[in-house]
Structure formats: C-alpha cells, structure tokens
C-alpha cells in the first residue's frame, strides 16, 4: 500500500483539528454580545486563521514537492475527476477562508495582532461597506469549506466501508509503512 508521507499525514490532521476548532469558535462567537470575552475570542479566531494560512502554505509546498499516492485503479474516471476537483477546491479554500478573514478585519479597522504581540499589516484601508461585504464572503466560504469537508469525510468513509480500499488508511497515522 502506497501511503502519504508522515509529514503530509501530520499536516492533514493538524489542519483538520485547527479548521474544525476555528470554525466552531467562529460559529460560537458570532452571535455573542459585544464584550471583552467576545473580543478575546475574535483574537483567538484570527490567530488560528493566520496559523491555518501558514499551515496551508506548508501543506501546499509539501504537496508540490512530494507526490501523493495515486488514486485506486478501481475508481472510475468520473470519481477520479471528482476527487481531484474536491482536493483542489479544499486547497483553494484553505487559503481563501483565512485570507478573507484577514481582509475583513482590515476593512473593518481591526488589526490582526498575532498571539497578542506581533501586529500584522492591514491588507486594506478601513471601509465599512467593503468590510461588511467581505464578512459575508468569509462566512460563505466557511460554509462551502464545511460542506466540502463533510463530503471529503463521507467519501473517505465510503472508500473504507463500502469499497473496502486503502484510501482512508493511507492517511491515518500509524497504519503501515510510509
């Protein structure tokens, strides 16, 4: 069985945890009344977003320099095209979601300060209307990412339990040689 590298597996699962955590925090904090606690959660959310953006760079760099295993031969050409398109879209969203969050913060006049100590440059000038639009785009991209992640999980489980192939196990830590 051809597996992903340990680095690819580690980046995959680390990003999974951070994406789910950041998404969950975003949903939780969105409807909170303005308070010091809400501002703290927004800071944490932005730190996680910057972390995701940096992890996405690392993951894309690794993927470009380390060829992933081929898709199973039993997959139809249509299934292979769908898998490749879904993976491509996942990568696009791993960049677009944190970037639109950063753009939203910039346009709304809230600088991102990584871990409370490293101020990051604003990417846009303050512009309320643009900030509101970007907030909507950020939300929509998050929903698209959530749907795609659920579809990705469903496909992996289908491969494991229905097709009984190694698509899932080659991305699980500690399952065979790399």
Q: Give the up-direction half-sphere exposure of residue 30: CA atoms within 13 A in the CB hemisphere.
A: 12
CATH class belonging to 6-171: mainly alpha
Domain range annotation of the chain: 6-171
Contact predicate 178/3, CB 8 Å: yes
Cα–Cα distance measured from residue 152 to residue 111, given in angstroms and rounded to the nearest whole number: 34
Q: Please, which pLDDT band fits residue 174 given cuts at 50, 70 and 90?
A: confident
From residue 139, alpha-carbon distances to 16, 17, 100, 144 in Å are 18, 19, 9, 9
Structure-token match 């972390």, residue found: 51
- Cβ atoms within 10 Å of 128's Cβ, excluding its own: 10
What pairing do the DSSP bridges indicate for beta strands 118-119 and 113-114?
Answer: antiparallel
For 52-71, how does the pLDDT look when each residue is reduced to its tens digit (9 = 90+)? 999 999 999 999 999 999 99
With a cut of 60, say whether residue 178 has pLDDT above it. no
For 110-166, how does the pLDDT look when each residue is reduced to its tens digit (9 = 90+)? 999 998 899 999 999 999 999 999 999 999 999 999 999 999 999 999 999 999 999
In DSSP terms, 118 is beta-bridged to 114
Helices 77-107 and 36-65, axial angle in degrees (round to 10): 140
- Nearest Cα residue to 93 out of 41, 152, 34: 152
Query: Rounded to two decimals, what is the model's pTM?
Result: 0.93
Q: Which pLDDT score is estimated for 16?
A: 97
């Amino acid at each position: 069985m051809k597996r992903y590298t340990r680095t690819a597996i580690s980046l995959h699962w680390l990003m999974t945890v951070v994406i789910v955590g950041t998404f969950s925090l975003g949903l939780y904090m969105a409807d909170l009344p303005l308070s010091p606690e809400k501002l703290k959660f927004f800071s944490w959310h932005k730190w996680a977003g910057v972390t995701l953006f940096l992890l996405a760079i690392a993951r894309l760099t690794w993927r470009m320099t380390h060829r992933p295993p081929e898709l199973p031969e039993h997959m139809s050409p249509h299934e292979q095209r769908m898998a490749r398109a879904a993976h491509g879209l996942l990568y696009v969203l791993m960049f677009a979601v944190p970037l639109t969050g950063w753009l939203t913060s910039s346009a709304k006049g809230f600088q991102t300060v990584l871990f409370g100590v490293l101020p990051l440059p604003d990417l846009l000038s303050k512009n309320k209307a643009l900030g509101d639009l970007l907030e909507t785009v950020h939300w929509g991209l998050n929903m698209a990412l959530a749907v795609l992640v659920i579809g990705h999980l469903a496909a992996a489980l289908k491969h494991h339990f229905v097709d009984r192939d190694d698509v899932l196990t080659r991305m699980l830590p500690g399952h065979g040689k790399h």
